[in-house]
Amino acid sequence: MAKRKAKGAQPKKTNGDSPASEAPPPAPAAEAGAKAAVQPQLTVLAQYVKDLSFESPSAPQSLQGPGQNPQLKVGVNVNAAPRGEDAYEVALQLEVHAKSDQGVIYNIELIYGGLFRLRGVPQNLLQPVLFVDCPTILFPFMRRVLADVIRDGGFPPLMLDPIDFGRLYAQNLAQSQGDPRARPTN
């Protein structure tokens, strides 16, 4: 003969129309959601060309060839500034000067900016995020703008090698603290 279970021990059967009377155990996803609220977040709100200048003073002669002894000088700088609650603007400033024995081939000045929202980032990591992580995100887009402008100016596109913003940040930090071993190498 089958034994009868106590009424309280039997799970209530529902057809899905009404909620079960017992509260379900807390879901692991709810606990993970609470932890995610305090985890650092970096969100790209916008990317844009803030300033752009292209000059080719010796065109169309410079379009026929680079001339003797072509030289290319590239300089990169990163700036960051707060823009409201949890929002920061990071701007990559790029200067490219191409010249030869015949004179200037082209000059480009480009400031490519990004607006980022940073939440939950500890204060001691804020500067590295702004000067390393954000520029690393922006760089491929800035490189594409640069290549397009040079190509549209009639020259072969310049494809810059990736920049190690972490190394540059460490060098600038060491230099500002007076470490003679740190020398910027661009």
Tens-place pLDDT, residues 23-69 = 455 555 555 555 545 688 999 999 999 999 999 887 777 677 766 77
CB atoms within 10 A of CB 124: 7
Q: What is the pTM of this model?
A: 0.71
Q: Is 94:74 a contact under the CB 8 Å cutoff?
A: yes
Q: With the CA atoms of 47, 159, 51 and 41 taken in that order, what torsion angle do they form, in degrees rounded to the nearest 10?
A: 20
What DSSP state is assigned to residue 168? H
What DSSP state is assigned to residue 131? I
Backbone angles phi, psi at 152, to 5 degrees: -65, -20
Radius of gyration, CA atoms only, the chain: 28
Give the integer Cα–Cα distance in Å for 125 and 159. Answer: 31
Q: How confident is the model over 62-105, as pLDDT tens digits? A: 677 766 778 889 999 999 999 988 999 999 999 999 998 888 88
